[in-house]
Structure 1
Amino acid sequence: MTGKHVPTNKHVHFNRFDEVKYFNDRPSPASSISSLPSSTGPITPPDAVQPLPSIGSYTTKNPTLHPLLVVSQPRAVLFDMTQHPSHVTTPYPALSARRGLLTESAVTPPARQMVISCPELPWRITVRATNGAYVTVSDVLGEIYENLRRNIRREEFYALRSREQERVTEAYQRRYRRIRDVKQREIEKQGGSKRIDFLKGAVWFSGMEKTAAEDEWMMFVRA
Protein backbone atom coordinates (compact mmCIF):
# COMPACT_ATOMS: atom_id res chain seq x y z
CA MET A 1 0.00 0.00 0.00
CA THR A 2 1.31 3.40 -0.97
CA GLY A 3 1.10 6.01 1.78
CA LYS A 4 0.82 9.74 1.38
CA HIS A 5 4.01 11.73 1.22
CA VAL A 6 4.53 13.75 4.38
CA PRO A 7 6.86 16.73 3.93
CA THR A 8 9.63 16.83 6.47
CA ASN A 9 10.22 20.56 6.23
CA LYS A 10 7.70 23.32 6.64
CA HIS A 11 8.33 26.24 4.32
CA VAL A 12 7.36 29.69 5.51
CA HIS A 13 6.84 32.51 3.07
CA PHE A 14 8.53 35.80 3.90
CA ASN A 15 7.52 38.94 2.07
CA ARG A 16 9.65 41.72 0.68
CA PHE A 17 9.63 43.63 3.97
CA ASP A 18 11.71 40.91 5.62
CA GLU A 19 14.18 40.95 2.74
CA VAL A 20 15.23 44.50 3.65
CA LYS A 21 15.13 43.80 7.39
CA TYR A 22 11.90 45.74 7.60
CA PHE A 23 11.30 44.38 11.07
CA ASN A 24 14.36 44.71 13.24
CA ASP A 25 14.58 43.61 16.86
CA ARG A 26 17.92 45.29 17.43
CA PRO A 27 17.97 48.42 19.60
CA SER A 28 17.56 51.71 17.79
CA PRO A 29 20.80 53.60 17.11
CA ALA A 30 19.23 56.69 18.67
CA SER A 31 21.17 57.87 21.67
CA SER A 32 19.58 58.24 25.06
CA ILE A 33 18.39 61.71 25.94
CA SER A 34 18.29 62.61 29.60
CA SER A 35 17.84 66.28 28.80
CA LEU A 36 18.53 68.66 25.95
CA PRO A 37 20.93 71.61 26.28
CA SER A 38 19.80 74.12 28.87
CA SER A 39 20.70 77.10 26.72
CA THR A 40 18.64 78.30 23.80
CA GLY A 41 21.28 76.75 21.52
CA PRO A 42 19.87 75.94 18.09
CA ILE A 43 16.49 77.53 18.84
CA THR A 44 17.00 80.60 16.71
CA PRO A 45 14.37 82.59 14.80
CA PRO A 46 14.33 83.05 11.03
CA ASP A 47 14.62 86.54 9.56
CA ALA A 48 10.86 87.08 9.57
CA VAL A 49 9.77 88.55 12.90
CA GLN A 50 6.62 87.03 14.36
CA PRO A 51 4.71 88.23 17.46
CA LEU A 52 4.48 85.90 20.44
CA PRO A 53 1.15 83.99 20.59
CA SER A 54 -1.41 85.58 22.88
CA ILE A 55 -2.22 83.77 26.11
CA GLY A 56 -5.59 82.76 24.73
CA SER A 57 -3.97 80.86 21.87
CA TYR A 58 -2.25 78.38 24.12
CA THR A 59 -4.36 78.19 27.25
CA THR A 60 -6.36 74.96 27.36
CA LYS A 61 -8.58 75.38 30.40
CA ASN A 62 -6.46 74.14 33.28
CA PRO A 63 -3.52 73.39 33.22
CA THR A 64 -1.69 75.72 30.84
CA LEU A 65 0.78 74.41 28.26
CA HIS A 66 4.18 75.98 27.62
CA PRO A 67 4.04 78.32 24.57
CA LEU A 68 6.58 76.21 22.66
CA LEU A 69 4.22 73.23 22.76
CA VAL A 70 0.92 74.88 21.86
CA VAL A 71 -1.15 74.62 18.71
CA SER A 72 -0.64 78.01 17.05
CA GLN A 73 -0.15 79.72 13.71
CA PRO A 74 2.64 79.91 12.85
CA ARG A 75 3.80 76.95 14.88
CA ALA A 76 5.64 77.95 18.04
CA VAL A 77 8.32 75.32 17.51
CA LEU A 78 9.58 73.86 14.25
CA PHE A 79 10.33 70.24 15.14
CA ASP A 80 10.89 67.58 12.50
CA MET A 81 10.44 64.48 14.63
CA THR A 82 12.81 62.43 12.44
CA GLN A 83 15.60 64.72 13.64
CA HIS A 84 17.12 65.06 17.10
CA PRO A 85 15.27 67.83 18.96
CA SER A 86 18.47 69.81 19.33
CA HIS A 87 17.69 70.96 15.77
CA VAL A 88 14.39 72.66 16.65
CA THR A 89 13.83 76.32 15.82
CA THR A 90 11.14 78.87 16.66
CA PRO A 91 9.84 81.85 14.64
CA TYR A 92 9.22 83.83 17.84
CA PRO A 93 12.16 86.04 18.92
CA ALA A 94 10.59 86.52 22.36
CA LEU A 95 10.89 82.77 22.93
CA SER A 96 14.29 82.43 21.33
CA ALA A 97 15.72 85.11 23.60
CA ARG A 98 14.70 83.35 26.80
CA ARG A 99 17.64 81.66 28.51
CA GLY A 100 17.04 78.15 29.76
CA LEU A 101 13.97 77.89 27.53
CA LEU A 102 14.09 74.11 27.19
CA THR A 103 14.40 73.53 30.92
CA GLU A 104 11.20 75.42 31.67
CA SER A 105 8.18 73.47 32.89
CA ALA A 106 6.16 71.98 30.03
CA VAL A 107 2.92 72.71 31.83
CA THR A 108 1.61 75.00 34.58
CA PRO A 109 1.09 73.94 37.28
CA PRO A 110 4.15 71.67 36.95
CA ALA A 111 3.62 67.92 36.58
CA ARG A 112 5.92 64.98 37.15
CA GLN A 113 4.37 63.02 34.29
CA MET A 114 2.57 63.71 31.03
CA VAL A 115 0.89 61.22 28.72
CA ILE A 116 0.77 62.05 25.01
CA SER A 117 -1.59 60.43 22.52
CA CYS A 118 -1.89 60.98 18.79
CA PRO A 119 -4.75 59.96 16.44
CA GLU A 120 -2.25 58.46 13.99
CA LEU A 121 -0.46 56.28 16.57
CA PRO A 122 -1.66 53.13 18.38
CA TRP A 123 0.69 53.92 21.29
CA ARG A 124 0.75 56.52 24.03
CA ILE A 125 3.94 58.33 24.94
CA THR A 126 4.65 58.71 28.64
CA VAL A 127 6.94 61.59 29.58
CA ARG A 128 8.51 61.62 33.05
CA ALA A 129 10.45 64.34 34.79
CA THR A 130 14.17 63.72 34.38
CA ASN A 131 15.00 66.37 36.99
CA GLY A 132 12.87 64.58 39.59
CA ALA A 133 10.58 67.56 40.04
CA TYR A 134 8.63 68.44 36.89
CA VAL A 135 8.42 67.62 33.19
CA THR A 136 10.32 70.15 31.09
CA VAL A 137 9.98 71.16 27.45
CA SER A 138 13.21 69.22 26.87
CA ASP A 139 11.65 66.10 28.41
CA VAL A 140 8.64 66.31 26.08
CA LEU A 141 10.61 66.83 22.87
CA GLY A 142 13.22 64.24 23.81
CA GLU A 143 10.71 61.54 24.75
CA ILE A 144 8.67 62.09 21.58
CA TYR A 145 11.82 61.67 19.50
CA GLU A 146 13.05 58.58 21.35
CA ASN A 147 9.64 56.92 21.45
CA LEU A 148 9.12 57.33 17.71
CA ARG A 149 12.60 55.93 17.03
CA ARG A 150 11.58 52.55 18.43
CA ASN A 151 11.20 49.70 15.96
CA ILE A 152 7.70 48.50 15.20
CA ARG A 153 6.84 44.86 15.77
CA ARG A 154 5.65 42.49 13.09
CA GLU A 155 2.22 42.09 14.68
CA GLU A 156 1.78 45.87 14.86
CA PHE A 157 2.44 46.21 11.16
CA TYR A 158 0.15 43.37 10.09
CA ALA A 159 -2.65 44.70 12.28
CA LEU A 160 -2.95 47.51 9.71
CA ARG A 161 -5.08 47.32 6.59
CA SER A 162 -3.30 46.62 3.33
CA ARG A 163 -3.33 50.23 2.13
CA GLU A 164 -2.08 51.45 5.50
CA GLN A 165 0.77 48.92 5.33
CA GLU A 166 1.75 50.36 1.97
CA ARG A 167 1.74 53.92 3.31
CA VAL A 168 3.85 52.97 6.32
CA THR A 169 6.31 51.19 4.02
CA GLU A 170 6.50 54.24 1.76
CA ALA A 171 7.20 56.46 4.78
CA TYR A 172 9.98 54.10 5.88
CA GLN A 173 11.55 54.21 2.43
CA ARG A 174 11.32 58.01 2.18
CA ARG A 175 12.89 58.37 5.61
CA TYR A 176 16.09 56.50 4.86
CA ARG A 177 16.35 57.66 1.24
CA ARG A 178 16.43 61.31 2.29
CA ILE A 179 19.80 60.71 3.98
CA ARG A 180 22.55 61.90 1.67
CA ASP A 181 25.45 60.03 3.21
CA VAL A 182 25.50 56.56 1.62
CA LYS A 183 26.82 54.77 4.71
CA GLN A 184 24.35 56.44 7.07
CA ARG A 185 21.52 55.80 4.61
CA GLU A 186 22.28 52.07 4.61
CA ILE A 187 22.48 52.00 8.41
CA GLU A 188 19.08 53.66 8.64
CA LYS A 189 17.64 51.27 6.06
CA GLN A 190 18.94 48.21 7.87
CA GLY A 191 17.58 49.63 11.12
CA GLY A 192 14.08 48.76 9.93
CA SER A 193 10.75 50.53 10.16
CA LYS A 194 10.09 52.63 13.22
CA ARG A 195 7.10 54.05 15.00
CA ILE A 196 7.46 57.39 13.25
CA ASP A 197 6.63 55.64 9.97
CA PHE A 198 3.10 55.13 11.31
CA LEU A 199 2.68 58.89 10.81
CA LYS A 200 2.97 58.21 7.05
CA GLY A 201 5.17 61.21 6.38
CA ALA A 202 3.43 63.66 8.74
CA VAL A 203 6.61 64.14 10.75
CA TRP A 204 6.26 67.77 11.85
CA PHE A 205 5.13 68.42 15.42
CA SER A 206 2.16 70.81 15.39
CA GLY A 207 1.47 71.26 19.08
CA MET A 208 -0.68 69.66 21.75
CA GLU A 209 -4.02 70.20 23.43
CA LYS A 210 -5.44 68.91 26.71
CA THR A 211 -7.75 65.90 26.60
CA ALA A 212 -10.43 65.01 29.13
CA ALA A 213 -8.15 62.38 30.68
CA GLU A 214 -5.95 63.36 33.59
CA ASP A 215 -2.35 64.21 32.63
CA GLU A 216 -3.08 63.36 28.97
CA TRP A 217 -2.41 65.60 25.99
CA MET A 218 -3.28 65.15 22.34
CA MET A 219 -0.41 65.66 19.90
CA PHE A 220 -1.04 66.92 16.38
CA VAL A 221 1.27 66.35 13.42
CA ARG A 222 1.49 67.46 9.80
CA ALA A 223 3.49 66.68 6.68
Structure 2
Amino acid sequence: MGSSSKYVRSASDRRVPPSPGLSSSSSWSSASSNGLYTPSTSTYYHSHIIPLPPVTPYLSPVELAQLDTPKAAAYAPAKSAHLVVHPCLARGHSVLSWDMIKEPYGLPLPPNILAESATQPPVPRLTVTIGSGYPWRVDIEPRTSSYITVADVLHSIYRNLRSIVGSAEWDHPSTPAELKVRASAAYHDRRRRCPDPDPRKAGIRRIDYLGDMRAFRGLEPCKSTGHVKGQPDAATLQLSLGRAS
Protein backbone atom coordinates (compact mmCIF):
# COMPACT_ATOMS: atom_id res chain seq x y z
CA MET A 1 0.00 0.00 0.00
CA GLY A 2 2.74 2.44 0.99
CA SER A 3 4.72 1.68 -2.16
CA SER A 4 1.88 2.63 -4.53
CA SER A 5 1.45 6.09 -3.02
CA LYS A 6 4.86 7.27 -4.19
CA TYR A 7 3.64 7.14 -7.81
CA VAL A 8 1.05 9.85 -7.27
CA ARG A 9 2.30 12.86 -9.29
CA SER A 10 0.84 16.24 -10.17
CA ALA A 11 0.74 17.47 -13.78
CA SER A 12 3.68 19.79 -13.15
CA ASP A 13 5.78 16.88 -11.85
CA ARG A 14 5.51 15.17 -15.22
CA ARG A 15 7.47 17.91 -17.01
CA VAL A 16 11.21 17.44 -16.94
CA PRO A 17 14.05 19.15 -18.80
CA PRO A 18 15.44 17.51 -21.94
CA SER A 19 17.90 14.71 -21.55
CA PRO A 20 21.51 15.99 -21.64
CA GLY A 21 22.16 13.67 -24.55
CA LEU A 22 19.38 15.18 -26.66
CA SER A 23 20.50 17.78 -29.16
CA SER A 24 18.25 19.95 -31.25
CA SER A 25 18.54 19.84 -35.01
CA SER A 26 17.72 22.43 -37.58
CA SER A 27 18.09 23.20 -41.25
CA TRP A 28 17.87 26.41 -43.27
CA SER A 29 14.12 26.90 -43.16
CA SER A 30 11.80 26.42 -46.10
CA ALA A 31 9.73 29.32 -47.33
CA SER A 32 6.02 29.32 -46.67
CA SER A 33 3.40 30.74 -48.95
CA ASN A 34 3.51 34.16 -47.26
CA GLY A 35 7.22 34.53 -47.93
CA LEU A 36 8.33 33.96 -44.33
CA TYR A 37 10.44 31.15 -43.00
CA THR A 38 9.26 28.62 -40.52
CA PRO A 39 12.26 26.85 -39.01
CA SER A 40 11.91 23.10 -39.12
CA THR A 41 11.98 21.89 -35.54
CA SER A 42 11.89 18.24 -34.59
CA THR A 43 9.56 17.53 -31.67
CA TYR A 44 10.59 14.94 -29.13
CA TYR A 45 7.67 14.73 -26.74
CA HIS A 46 8.43 11.21 -25.56
CA SER A 47 12.03 12.11 -24.85
CA HIS A 48 10.81 14.63 -22.32
CA ILE A 49 8.58 12.30 -20.24
CA ILE A 50 9.89 10.06 -17.47
CA PRO A 51 8.27 6.62 -17.82
CA LEU A 52 5.59 6.19 -15.14
CA PRO A 53 3.68 3.10 -14.00
CA PRO A 54 0.66 2.08 -16.11
CA VAL A 55 -1.73 3.51 -13.50
CA THR A 56 -0.58 7.03 -14.36
CA PRO A 57 -3.13 8.69 -16.70
CA TYR A 58 -2.05 9.96 -20.11
CA LEU A 59 -1.17 13.62 -20.43
CA SER A 60 -3.95 15.79 -21.74
CA PRO A 61 -3.40 17.67 -25.04
CA VAL A 62 -3.06 20.92 -23.08
CA GLU A 63 -0.40 19.46 -20.80
CA LEU A 64 1.40 17.94 -23.76
CA ALA A 65 1.53 21.27 -25.57
CA GLN A 66 3.12 22.85 -22.48
CA LEU A 67 6.11 20.53 -22.52
CA ASP A 68 9.43 22.18 -23.32
CA THR A 69 10.65 21.14 -26.75
CA PRO A 70 13.95 21.76 -28.52
CA LYS A 71 14.11 24.98 -30.49
CA ALA A 72 15.75 25.26 -33.89
CA ALA A 73 19.32 26.51 -33.64
CA ALA A 74 19.92 29.82 -35.38
CA TYR A 75 22.89 30.32 -37.66
CA ALA A 76 25.50 32.56 -36.10
CA PRO A 77 25.24 35.92 -37.84
CA ALA A 78 28.30 37.52 -39.37
CA LYS A 79 28.72 41.12 -38.21
CA SER A 80 25.00 41.60 -37.60
CA ALA A 81 22.57 40.31 -35.00
CA HIS A 82 19.64 41.04 -37.30
CA LEU A 83 20.57 39.46 -40.62
CA VAL A 84 22.01 36.02 -41.30
CA VAL A 85 23.38 35.02 -44.69
CA HIS A 86 22.59 31.57 -46.07
CA PRO A 87 25.41 29.14 -45.20
CA CYS A 88 26.32 28.44 -48.82
CA LEU A 89 26.75 32.18 -49.45
CA ALA A 90 28.18 33.35 -46.12
CA ARG A 91 31.75 34.55 -45.81
CA GLY A 92 33.82 32.01 -43.92
CA HIS A 93 31.21 29.29 -44.47
CA SER A 94 30.65 29.24 -48.22
CA VAL A 95 31.51 25.96 -49.90
CA LEU A 96 31.33 27.52 -53.34
CA SER A 97 34.42 27.52 -55.49
CA TRP A 98 33.34 30.04 -58.07
CA ASP A 99 35.41 32.07 -60.48
CA MET A 100 32.80 34.71 -61.24
CA ILE A 101 33.92 35.03 -64.84
CA LYS A 102 32.03 31.75 -65.33
CA GLU A 103 28.28 31.25 -65.26
CA PRO A 104 26.87 30.07 -61.91
CA TYR A 105 24.73 27.40 -63.56
CA GLY A 106 27.47 24.81 -63.19
CA LEU A 107 27.86 25.26 -59.43
CA PRO A 108 27.18 22.11 -57.35
CA LEU A 109 24.01 23.38 -55.70
CA PRO A 110 20.76 21.36 -55.86
CA PRO A 111 17.52 23.12 -56.88
CA ASN A 112 16.08 23.08 -53.37
CA ILE A 113 19.09 25.01 -52.03
CA LEU A 114 18.96 27.52 -54.88
CA ALA A 115 15.30 28.16 -54.05
CA GLU A 116 15.96 28.92 -50.37
CA SER A 117 16.09 32.43 -48.99
CA ALA A 118 19.48 34.13 -49.27
CA THR A 119 19.05 35.65 -45.82
CA GLN A 120 17.32 35.03 -42.55
CA PRO A 121 14.92 36.69 -42.17
CA PRO A 122 14.00 36.77 -45.86
CA VAL A 123 14.11 40.17 -47.57
CA PRO A 124 12.35 41.43 -50.73
CA ARG A 125 15.28 43.64 -51.77
CA LEU A 126 19.01 43.20 -51.46
CA THR A 127 22.07 45.23 -52.39
CA VAL A 128 25.54 43.72 -52.77
CA THR A 129 28.64 45.88 -52.73
CA ILE A 130 31.94 44.61 -54.12
CA GLY A 131 35.38 45.67 -52.95
CA SER A 132 38.63 46.12 -54.87
CA GLY A 133 37.53 49.49 -56.30
CA TYR A 134 34.43 48.12 -58.02
CA PRO A 135 32.32 51.27 -58.61
CA TRP A 136 28.94 49.58 -59.13
CA ARG A 137 26.54 47.96 -56.72
CA VAL A 138 24.39 44.92 -57.38
CA ASP A 139 20.70 45.60 -56.73
CA ILE A 140 18.79 42.34 -56.44
CA GLU A 141 15.06 41.72 -56.66
CA PRO A 142 13.27 38.36 -56.49
CA ARG A 143 12.45 36.68 -59.77
CA THR A 144 10.05 33.90 -58.78
CA SER A 145 9.06 34.53 -55.16
CA SER A 146 8.40 37.31 -52.67
CA TYR A 147 11.92 37.17 -51.22
CA ILE A 148 15.51 37.00 -52.48
CA THR A 149 16.72 33.45 -53.05
CA VAL A 150 20.20 31.96 -53.30
CA ALA A 151 19.75 31.69 -57.07
CA ASP A 152 18.71 35.36 -57.29
CA VAL A 153 21.96 36.41 -55.62
CA LEU A 154 24.24 34.27 -57.78
CA HIS A 155 22.60 35.18 -61.08
CA SER A 156 22.36 38.89 -60.25
CA ILE A 157 26.04 39.10 -59.34
CA TYR A 158 27.00 37.31 -62.55
CA ARG A 159 24.80 39.52 -64.74
CA ASN A 160 26.14 42.67 -63.11
CA LEU A 161 29.75 41.61 -63.65
CA ARG A 162 29.04 40.69 -67.27
CA SER A 163 27.71 44.14 -68.14
CA ILE A 164 29.71 45.97 -70.78
CA VAL A 165 31.27 49.23 -69.60
CA GLY A 166 30.03 52.22 -71.59
CA SER A 167 32.31 55.00 -72.75
CA ALA A 168 30.75 57.44 -70.28
CA GLU A 169 31.51 55.07 -67.42
CA TRP A 170 35.03 54.40 -68.67
CA ASP A 171 35.83 58.09 -69.10
CA HIS A 172 34.20 59.19 -65.85
CA PRO A 173 36.59 61.51 -63.98
CA SER A 174 36.11 59.59 -60.74
CA THR A 175 37.64 56.43 -62.23
CA PRO A 176 41.23 56.10 -60.98
CA ALA A 177 43.90 55.67 -63.65
CA GLU A 178 45.31 52.56 -61.95
CA LEU A 179 41.87 50.97 -62.06
CA LYS A 180 41.74 51.53 -65.82
CA VAL A 181 45.17 49.94 -66.22
CA ARG A 182 44.05 46.89 -64.25
CA ALA A 183 40.79 46.60 -66.19
CA SER A 184 42.58 46.88 -69.54
CA ALA A 185 45.05 44.13 -68.61
CA ALA A 186 42.22 41.88 -67.38
CA TYR A 187 40.25 42.54 -70.56
CA HIS A 188 43.09 41.45 -72.86
CA ASP A 189 43.76 38.38 -70.72
CA ARG A 190 40.08 37.42 -70.78
CA ARG A 191 39.92 37.86 -74.55
CA ARG A 192 42.88 35.56 -75.01
CA ARG A 193 41.44 32.83 -72.78
CA CYS A 194 37.78 32.98 -73.77
CA PRO A 195 37.17 35.12 -76.85
CA ASP A 196 33.63 36.33 -77.40
CA PRO A 197 32.37 35.18 -80.83
CA ASP A 198 30.23 38.30 -81.17
CA PRO A 199 32.53 41.31 -81.83
CA ARG A 200 29.76 43.67 -80.68
CA LYS A 201 30.17 42.20 -77.19
CA ALA A 202 33.94 42.37 -77.13
CA GLY A 203 34.23 45.49 -74.99
CA ILE A 204 35.53 45.84 -71.46
CA ARG A 205 33.16 44.34 -68.94
CA ARG A 206 32.67 45.26 -65.33
CA ILE A 207 34.36 42.09 -64.13
CA ASP A 208 37.58 43.34 -65.74
CA TYR A 209 37.71 46.02 -63.03
CA LEU A 210 38.40 43.22 -60.53
CA GLY A 211 41.54 42.04 -62.31
CA ASP A 212 42.34 38.54 -61.06
CA MET A 213 40.48 39.13 -57.76
CA ARG A 214 37.29 37.61 -59.09
CA ALA A 215 36.88 34.49 -56.93
CA PHE A 216 33.72 34.42 -54.80
CA ARG A 217 34.64 34.34 -51.09
CA GLY A 218 31.23 34.84 -49.56
CA LEU A 219 28.87 37.57 -48.35
CA GLU A 220 28.44 39.26 -45.00
CA PRO A 221 26.21 42.07 -43.73
CA CYS A 222 27.78 45.50 -43.92
CA LYS A 223 29.57 46.47 -40.73
CA SER A 224 27.02 49.12 -39.74
CA THR A 225 23.68 47.34 -39.43
CA GLY A 226 23.41 45.21 -42.51
CA HIS A 227 20.20 47.05 -43.42
CA VAL A 228 19.60 49.93 -45.78
CA LYS A 229 18.76 53.04 -43.75
CA GLY A 230 15.03 53.70 -43.79
CA GLN A 231 14.31 50.35 -45.46
CA PRO A 232 13.95 47.65 -42.78
CA ASP A 233 12.92 45.08 -45.40
CA ALA A 234 16.04 45.68 -47.50
CA ALA A 235 19.63 44.75 -46.73
CA THR A 236 23.16 45.46 -47.88
CA LEU A 237 25.79 42.74 -48.08
CA GLN A 238 29.50 43.00 -48.79
CA LEU A 239 31.07 40.53 -51.22
CA SER A 240 34.55 39.31 -50.31
CA LEU A 241 36.93 38.51 -53.16
CA GLY A 242 39.80 36.10 -53.65
CA ARG A 243 42.42 35.57 -56.29
CA ALA A 244 41.18 33.39 -59.14
CA SER A 245 43.35 30.42 -59.99
Match of 1:101 among 113, 119, 124: 113
Residue in structure 1 matched with residue 155 of structure 2 by the alignment: 142
* Residue 84 in structure 1 maps to residue 103 in structure 2: yes
Unaligned runs of 5+ in 1: 1-53, 90-95
Amino acid at match of 1:166: V
Please say if residues 117 and 123 of structure 1, whose CA atoms lie closer than 8 Å, have aligned partners that are also in contact: yes
Residue in structure 2 matched with residue 221 of structure 1 by the alignment: 241
What's the % identity of the aligned pairs?
26
Please say if residues 112 and 134 of structure 1, whose CA atoms lie closer than 8 Å, have aligned partners that are also in contact: yes
CA RMSD for the aligned pairs?
2.4
Amino acid at match of 2:129: S
Structure 1 residue 131: deviation in Å?
1.6
Q: How does 1:183-222 map to 2 (within 5 A)?
A: 184-187=195-198, 191-211=202-222, 212=224, 213-214=227-228, 215-222=235-242
| Alignment partners' CA distance in 2, 1:189 and 1:70 | 36
Structure 1 residue 186: deviation in Å?
4.7
* Residue 174 in structure 1 maps to residue 186 in structure 2: no
For the residue of structure 2 that corresponds to 1:209, the secondary structure is strand
| Alignment partners' CA distance in 2, 1:188 and 1:86 | 24
Residue in structure 2 matched with residue 70 of structure 1 by the alignment: 90
| Alignment partners' CA distance in 2, 1:196 and 1:88 | 19
For the residue of structure 2 that corresponds to 1:68, the secondary structure is coil
Please say if residues 163 and 205 of structure 2, whose CA atoms lie closer than 8 Å, have aligned partners that are also in contact: yes
| Alignment partners' CA distance in 1, 2:177 and 2:111 | 48
| Alignment partners' CA distance in 2, 1:190 and 1:123 | 20
Amino acid at match of 1:128: E
String of CA shifts for 1:121-167, please: whole Å, max 9, x gaps: 11111111112311100000000001111111223223333332111
| Alignment partners' CA distance in 2, 1:216 and 1:124 | 10
Amino acid at match of 2:87: P
Q: Give TM-score scaled by structure 2 length.
A: 0.58
What number of residue pairs does the alignment pair up?
Answer: 158
Q: Give TM-score scaled by structure 1 length.
A: 0.64
| Alignment partners' CA distance in 2, 1:134 and 1:185 | 34
Which fold has the larger relative contact order, with Cα–Cα distance below 8 Å and residues 6 or more apart in sequence? 1
String of CA shifts for 1:11-49, please: whole Å, max 9, x gaps: xxxxxxxxxxxxxxxxxxxxxxxxxxxxxxxxxxxxxxx
Structure 1 residue 59: deviation in Å?
7.1
